[in-house]
Structure 1
Amino acid sequence: MLRSPASLLRRVLTRSRPLVASRCMAQSKRSVVTSGYEVHSPFPDIEPAGDVVSVILDTARRFGHHTAVECSVTGRSYTYAQLEDAAFRFAGLLQGMGVQRGDVVGVLAPNGPEYPVVFLGSMIAGAGVTCFNPTYTPGEIARQLSDSGTKVIVVDPLLEVVLDAALAQLKRPPKVVLAGKSSRAEGGRPNLQELARDEGKPFGEYVKVSERDLSVLGYSSGTTGVPKGARIDHGAVAYNLAMVLHPEVFPYRPTTAESQESVIGLMPFFHAWGMYGVMTCSFQVLGAAVVTMPQFIPEVFVKVIKQHQVGVLHLVPPLLQFLVAHPLVTSDDLASVRSTMCAAAPCPPLAAHAFKKKVPNKVFFQEVYGMTETMPTHFTPLNGAENIGSCGVLLPSARARVEDLTSGAPLPPGEAGELVIHTPALMSGYHGNEDATRDVMTADGWLRTGDVAKYDSEGYFYIVDRIKELIKVKGLQVSPTELEDELRGHPSVADVGVVGVADERAGEVPRAYVVRRSTAETGDKVKDKEEEDRLAEALQKFLSERVAPHKHLLGGVKFVEELPKNPTGKLLRRTLKEMAAEE
């Protein structure tokens, strides 16, 4: 029988052995914006009734014959039944290695079929999980291993040498499990791929946890400082998944005996968007098939969309730009797409509209906002307007304020200030760092996001910029994101990053680092200095006609082959500012 999204949600809310009492409050008639300028979700408050592991195992048992995860490169895959068995065998291995409830298990690997095995198996064993960026240096890996207290780490064989260099820096290194076959002759370390399919290996004991036990120790991207470990407890994850899987928010179609949704696992699983928005939500209740990609290969990405008839695309802005501008991608390739979810960085409205125009059928464009510390808090609702450029409305049970950057007073609709959030899915704090926790938490338990935002009377939010990235021109605040959005409207601009550079008179003035359209599409960089000077002058004139004088590019225009970005496509302005300081 075909189950509706609402019926699937009810399964989340009515699980046995609840962590908290199950309750879905009746729809209220309250205004989204209160008289004190506190913004509420337009949806009723919600409380989860099932821990994450129990619900995923229930999904595995209902859809055991369906594919859970498949590698786009090798074809290696697990059905839901095989995923459950592999996870229990991995839990047994961990417990045999001394892992106990509350310990931390690490994973250093690109996206692959074993990633969810590590996640689910660790949680079955009662452990929390911390994920490492696979591009990290040995020093960065060593710092996270030390800070997190990782007891066992699972590593992709291609990264074994890098991990060993990190382990050499530690007095008490963790034990190591390989995600596949080692390239080294000596070997000796357990092989997860072999273990997962070895029916002779015993299952581990399913360790029950409380809502306050650690689920994920998620490290921030470090774009504004040294990465810190945000402690996300089991109760927070269960809460957030119930919030995200609201039937008027999440666009997946329900799985039946004959069919299931297929999605692409390209968003890095070590990042909150890939971890929660793609991997966990797909397995939690929905029984979707996740086709993993260890890295972005344009031809493979387009092939997977068409071959697997992907209906929902998880995007970040650079990937959106690729789908819009690259000649490899045709309208026919996108014929199966009916919905997108764009997150991790503000979405350029011009690119979103161009994407909708390129797809041959009607597409609903969703934008998402969240943080490592909160998981997703805002989504474009399926039953409302798209409002492209907005990150949507608050999810059930979440609240927010926008506070004046100077006085801290709550602001009315339309005025920009710092976004401050309250959610039951909030981190319990930064691991071992009470000072950093106090810096971001208010006395009444709200999180200061560090993002400048505004909202409208219907509760739609718009991210303006990061507080630390605002440019101060003669005391006036200038949003680099605003200038970037304007400059992307010029036909010669493929991508752009704006930062403030020092100026004796104004304090700071904006400078644009531009990737030329011809460079992005053909790989040819025009080196004629006169032509670059003419284009720089044209861009300055183009922007000056659209913004106030204090926002003009008085710091000039510089042309680059590419912009520095993190793996999720977020612009690293700090790197641009370092480049500017060296010029």
Structure 2
Amino acid sequence: MQILARRLGVVAAAAGRHGLRPRRGIHMSTPSLQIFVNSAAGELSLPSPLPNFSEYVMADFGARGDKTAIVVSSPDHTATRTFADLSRDVKSVAHEFRHRLGFVEGDRALLVSPNHADYFTAVHAVLQLGGVCSPANPLYAAREIAMQLKDSGAKVVVTHPLCLQATVGALEETQSSKDVTIVVLGDAVPPEAPAGTLCFDELKDSGKSVDAVAVAADDLAILPYSSGTTGLPKGTMITHKNLVANVQQFIWPEVRFYGDSATILSPLPLFHIYGFTASLNVPLWHGSTLVTLPAFDLPHFLSLVQEYQCTRAHLVPPIILALAKHPLVDQYDISSLKAIVSAAAPLGSEVEAATQARLGESVVIKQGWGMSELSPIGACSPDDHPKTGTSGPPVAGMEYKIVDVATGKALPTGEEGEIVCRGPNVMAGYLNNPEATAECLDSDGWLRTGDVGLVDSDGYITITDRIKELIKYKGFQVPPAELEALLLTHEAVLDAAVISRAHDEAGEVPRAFVVLKPEIDDVSAADLVAWAAERSAPHKKLRGGVHFIDQIPKSAAGKILRRVIKERDVAGEFDMEQVA
């Protein structure tokens, strides 16, 4: 067996300060084992005892005082929070959660909100108490929120006013209105809110505080929902240790290039693990400023670069495509940008080259790779050595194997196979789902990622494909099984399958194949697209259309053979037929 292991860290000057231990390059070789360790690398040395993640991130907030920590801006409104604001507000809300809501260690809270100036406060108030925060997509319909609410066991829901109707609908659907407290972000409770709803700003103004609860390394901290390698969304159990380790793992490829301070522009949704860790927690831990948007708007995004002189941007490929091609870009001064990090979906080499040509060689454009199950970063190019088309080398403290998809046999450098990895940032498992956990995580801690790729002689990973059938629309997960289950609730649908369709701007869009019940002849493809759109988040819309088919191909065991359908679709069999 050949195992390619990379433990990358900071150089000696920064290692001690950030908890990384530098070591010399090593090449150990036996007939069955080869381990490569980068000469500039370090091994993670986590704090002992391990701190509560919230205390770890906020340790230096007091010294930063009135420096701006967060700017959340839309074309109509801008809100800011200083480090002193966040420190005070987190402690106050935590106190009120404990004493007014009876929220204690181990309790769960659901957070349903677009990017908001108090998003950090809501998350960290929960973590201070040893609770678990489960961020949810603010565009979810009531049905989708209900699934996460029920599975997570949340006793508190912090929601944005725009998400209140869906949140109330979710409580009604799960019959939990009497057991769950709603807290609405902002300075007033909307008149349509149920009795007993609390105002978040009121909780911020108590003038009281609590000490952070001491935690064990394997205590849960956050519970984002991910579809993993297949199937319906599952609660990804991320521990305090996972998050502390992942913040440190950002140092070598990212944070060491911040300088004394940086201004990070990130339109990424903070409920998404990429935005949560990379954009919200890492910059604030470092003492940098985050500038973000509640919803992406290209002119406003460009104006924020210009106004705040943003130095780095966390983006996804569709936004980078806009930077390469949209004429609006020339109307703004975005010369302050020094680096762009692309993640959540592969960035095409052509798009990267076009963006580089437009912005100039002084801007570093690089990729990272990760997943919810890795908290999320697993690999990332450093600013001083990016490689076009690759996601960079593995981060510190991680071991990687590339294995044959069919046999599981480890493959040598340069050969394509499934990426398998382990490290301190790998999740504890999926909540309430031991079967799904066992499918991807073995007893030795090796995680099957479902991503296919290869490693070159420098240890850089290139993602080439996915084993998993998950659809990625602009970086957002669209689980085929969830849309299939939804379609099967339609009175006209006998059977359904959903696959991905390639799309130039979005990456992929979902397309449904539907078998109608024999007696049905008055339902169109457009009807089903509209019906499903009303019951799902916008990124799950069947933009690839609906095609009516006589039979869904299935295995002997009854499993949908999406691969077979996709091969027929790519071959053009279904083009221009019954598609809306």
Q: TM-score, normalised by structure 1?
A: 0.75
> Out of 42, 45, 60, which is 2:43 matched to?
45
Shift in alpha-carbon separation, 1:372–1:209, aligned structure 2, 3 A: same
What are the within-5 Å matches in structure 2 for residues 157-176 of structure 1? Answer: 157-172=161-176, 173-176=179-182
> Out of 184, 188, 209, which is 1:203 matched to?
209
Deviations 1:518-574 (A, max 9, x none): xxxxxxxxxxxxxxxxxxxxxxxxxxxxxxxx9996327969xxxxxxxxxxxxxxx
Deviations 1:373-411 (A, max 9, x none): 112010112342x21110110111101111111211111
Partner of 2:249: 243
What are the within-5 Å matches in structure 2 for residues 394-409 of structure 1? Answer: 394-409=394-409
Amino acid at match of 2:220: L
Name the Cα RMSD after superposition: 3.2
Report the Cα distance in structure 2 between the residues aligned to 1:34 and 1:24, rounded to whole angstroms.
Answer: 29
Specify the SS of the correspondent of 2:407.
coil
Q: Is the 8 A contact 1:335 1:361 kept in 2?
A: no
Report the Cα distance in structure 2 between the residues aligned to 1:88 and 1:155, rounded to whole angstroms.
Answer: 19
Q: Is the 8 A contact 2:401 2:419 kept in 1?
A: yes
Deviations 1:128-176 (A, max 9, x none): 1110011111111111111111121100011111100100122334211
Shift in alpha-carbon separation, 1:415–1:297, aligned structure 2, 3 A: same
Report the Cα distance in structure 1 between the residues aligned to 2:164 and 2:511, rounded to whole angstroms.
Answer: 40
Q: What is the Cα deviation at residue 430 of structure 1?
A: 0.7
Shift in alpha-carbon separation, 1:343–1:268, aligned structure 2, 3 A: same
Partner of 1:135: 139
* 1:214 and 2:214 correspond: no
Report the Cα distance in structure 2 between the residues aligned to 1:245 and 1:53, rounded to whole angstroms.
Answer: 18
Report the Cα distance in structure 1 between the residues aligned to 2:119 and 2:69, rounded to whole angstroms.
Answer: 12
Q: What is the Cα deviation at residue 253 of structure 1?
A: 2.3
Report the Cα distance in structure 2 between the residues aligned to 1:40 and 1:32, rounded to whole angstroms.
Answer: 12
Specify the SS of the correspondent of 1:334.
coil
Segment drifting more, 200-209 vs 37-46: 37-46
Q: Is the 8 A contact 1:331 1:358 kept in 2?
A: no
Partner of 2:199: 191
Q: Is the 8 A contact 1:9 1:245 kept in 2?
A: no
Partner of 1:511: none
Specify the SS of the correspondent of 2:157.
strand
Specify the SS of the correspondent of 1:30.
strand
What are the within-5 Å matches in structure 2 for residues 13-24 of structure 1? Answer: 13=19, 24=21
Q: Is the 8 A contact 1:177 1:190 kept in 2?
A: yes
* 1:279 and 2:280 correspond: yes
Deviations 1:255-310 (A, max 9, x none): 4xxxx4222231111111000110010112x1111122110111111100111111
Specify the SS of the correspondent of 2:60.
helix
Identity among equivalent pairs (%)? 28
Q: Is the 8 A contact 2:229 2:468 kept in 1?
A: no
Specify the SS of the correspondent of 2:278.
helix
What are the within-5 Å matches in structure 2 for residues 206-355 of structure 1? Answer: 206-221=212-227, 224-246=230-252, 248-250=253-255, 252-255=257-260, 260-284=261-285, 286-330=286-330, 333-355=333-355
> Out of 101, 104, 110, which is 2:108 matched to?
104
Shift in alpha-carbon separation, 1:177–1:499, aligned structure 2, 3 A: closer
Partner of 1:508: none
* 1:115 and 2:113 correspond: no
Partner of 1:463: 463
Q: TM-score, normalised by structure 2?
A: 0.76
Q: What is the Cα deviation at residue 443 of structure 1?
A: 3.6
Partner of 2:534: none
Q: Is the 8 A contact 1:331 1:359 kept in 2?
A: no
Q: What is the Cα deviation at residue 7 of structure 1?
A: 6.5
Q: What is the Cα deviation at residue 211 of structure 1?
A: 1.1
Report the Cα distance in structure 1 between the residues aligned to 2:510 and 2:148, rounded to whole angstroms.
Answer: 30
What are structure 1's unaligned runs of at least 5 residues? 14-22, 471-479, 503-549, 560-579
* 1:93 and 2:96 correspond: yes
Amino acid at match of 2:383: L
Specify the SS of the correspondent of 1:147.
helix
Q: Is the 8 A contact 2:302 2:332 kept in 1?
A: no
> Out of 4, 22, 30, which is 2:27 matched to?
30
Q: What is the Cα deviation at residue 36 of structure 1?
A: 3.6
Report the Cα distance in structure 2 between the residues aligned to 1:496 and 1:283, rounded to whole angstroms.
Answer: 31
> Out of 83, 87, 91, which is 1:84 matched to?
87
Report the Cα distance in structure 1 between the residues aligned to 2:369 and 2:15, rounded to whole angstroms.
Answer: 21
Q: What is the Cα deviation at residue 440 of structure 1?
A: 0.5
Q: Is the 8 A contact 1:5 1:254 kept in 2?
A: no
Q: Is the 8 A contact 2:229 2:449 kept in 1?
A: no
Q: Is the 8 A contact 1:40 1:400 kept in 2?
A: no
Partner of 1:182: 189
Report the Cα distance in structure 2 between the residues aligned to 1:145 and 1:212, rounded to whole angstroms.
Answer: 22
Amino acid at match of 2:78: G
Specify the SS of the correspondent of 2:42.
coil
Deviations 1:44-82 (A, max 9, x none): 211221533223222211211211112213222111011
Partner of 2:525: none
Segment drifting more, 175-184 vs 229-238: 175-184
Q: What is the Cα deviation at residue 9 of structure 1?
A: 5.8
Q: What is the Cα deviation at residue 494 of structure 1?
A: 5.7
Number of aligned residue pairs: give it: 479
Q: Is the 8 A contact 2:11 2:42 kept in 1?
A: no
Q: Is the 8 A contact 2:54 2:128 kept in 1?
A: yes
What are the within-5 Å matches in structure 2 for residues 425-504 of structure 1? Answer: 425-469=425-469, 497=508
Specify the SS of the correspondent of 2:255.
coil
Report the Cα distance in structure 2 between the residues aligned to 1:113 and 1:460, rounded to whole angstroms.
Answer: 36
Shift in alpha-carbon separation, 1:551–1:154, aligned structure 2, 3 A: closer
Partner of 1:388: 388
Shift in alpha-carbon separation, 1:118–1:465, aligned structure 2, 3 A: same
Deviations 1:79-112 (A, max 9, x none): 1011000000110111021111121121100001
